[in-house]
Structure 1
């Protein structure tokens, strides 16, 4: 019993593990006996991956574009090539539209026809007064955008304004006396201003292509012609 007890005391009295640093704050411990150890690194954060959510794309390291150029004095060894500037796409060339043709025709101007009246200068109340005009083919070439456009205008109708508030429309330009194609009877004496407005049908072609009809017609108002309407009175003579 005594031997067993002594063995136990001997085991308990063994010196401490020399690899364990003594407590520096206990009395009797010198600084030289303290073993300095680096602090343990912090554990890496645990990433929990959700299968339903895609992982973000890795962020590329930015580089200075100045040192990515071949002529840079100190180019970077690992340089992200700069993207080539995109060539601006040229806008497609706009084609000539019927609206462009209408604007060109109005800018050039179609012939304004003068009305001829018989009897000339003056007429009588209730007399058949004759109206007529002369129309010539109209052709013109204009530049629209980058194209050459040929124009042709043909009278489609004539609107005769008698000057007394009345008017009539025909498809013919009328003819002088003795023809009676376009006539009018004035009911009251006085001065009037007659005119004829011509409505044209226009065809065009672009760069010697095929001829096309313009969907709309264009009207050119004619200049006024002054006319004196007189009243005839019967006079008895012997």
Structure 2
């Protein structure tokens, strides 16, 4: 970045009450500026080093504060589940989002992408996947439960890339996480009951 500078100066009253070029001082005290501003020189100055583009570490600090999507945990079957029938988990929400920031006068475009999903099943088991799951019949994340009541939740890990003023994409040097709202459900045990079809 180059900035054009026009340097100006003013006369100062010398200790003997005069100026270097004889400009009238009007009795001003020594050290007082007198007369108009006059041009001294013009020059072009490279100020890039004074305001460098945002570094990856600086962008990462902003990345950690972005309002990333909070993915909601969904489970099937909705409501109560059955022992012996796996519970299906999947996330509900966008898994990527674009942001445009102004950092010290630079336009920084960030693309955040959900990199991994950690499903806290509620029974002490954590399942980590690289996809957000899907509802039945395309399920990819399932878990078997014993009878009981459980609260499951989802931690999403986000990575990102960024570009400054339209430059090439650069990886954000770190990740951040969001926590989805938990869901609570019961798992019950179905019991077979003999009945008389003629009764």
TM-score (norm 2): 0.71
Name structure 1 gaps, 5 residues minimum. Answer: 1-63, 76-88
User: How far apart, in 1, do the equivalents of 2:175 and 2:154 lie?
Assistant: 16
Instruction: State the Cα distance separating 1:152 from its structure 2 match.
Output: 0.5
Tell me the equivalent position of 1:210.
168
1:117–1:132 CA contact under 8 A, matched in 2: yes
Q: CA RMSD in A?
A: 2.9
User: How far apart, in 1, do the equivalents of 2:99 and 2:147 lie?
Assistant: 43
Tell me the equivalent position of 1:183.
142
Instruction: State the Cα distance separating 1:195 from its structure 2 match.
Output: 1.8
Alignment of 1:121 onto 2:79: yes
Instruction: State the Cα distance separating 1:194 from its structure 2 match.
Output: 1.5
Tell me the equivalent position of 2:37.
none
Residues 1:66 and 1:73: Cα distance change in structure 2 (over 3 Å): farther
Tell me the equivalent position of 1:67.
17
Q: How does 1:19-30 map to 2 (within 5 A)?
A: none
State how many pairs are aligned.
Answer: 164
Secondary structure at the residue paired with 1:195?
strand
Instruction: State the Cα distance separating 1:148 from its structure 2 match.
Output: 0.8
1:139–1:152 CA contact under 8 A, matched in 2: yes
Instruction: State the Cα distance separating 1:151 from its structure 2 match.
Output: 0.9
Residues 1:67 and 1:141: Cα distance change in structure 2 (over 3 Å): same
Secondary structure at the residue paired with 1:197?
strand
- Residue deviations 1:118-156, cap 9 Å, x none? 001221233211011244431111111111111111221
Alignment of 1:198 onto 2:156: yes
TM-score (norm 1): 0.60
User: How far apart, in 2, do the equivalents of 1:226 and 1:148 lie?
Assistant: 43
Secondary structure at the residue paired with 2:17?
helix
Instruction: State the Cα distance separating 1:223 from its structure 2 match.
Output: 1.6
Name structure 2 gaps, 5 residues minimum. Answer: 1-13, 29-44
Tell me the equivalent position of 1:148.
107
Residues 1:235 and 1:141: Cα distance change in structure 2 (over 3 Å): same
Bigger Rg, which one: 1
- Larger helix proportion of the pair: 1
- Larger strand proportion of the pair: 2
Aligned pair partner of 1:162 in 83, 108, 121: 121
- Residue deviations 1:33-83, cap 9 Å, x none? xxxxxxxxxxxxxxxxxxxxxxxxxxxxxxx636254444579xxxxxxxx
Aligned pair partner of 1:131 in 89, 92, 100: 89
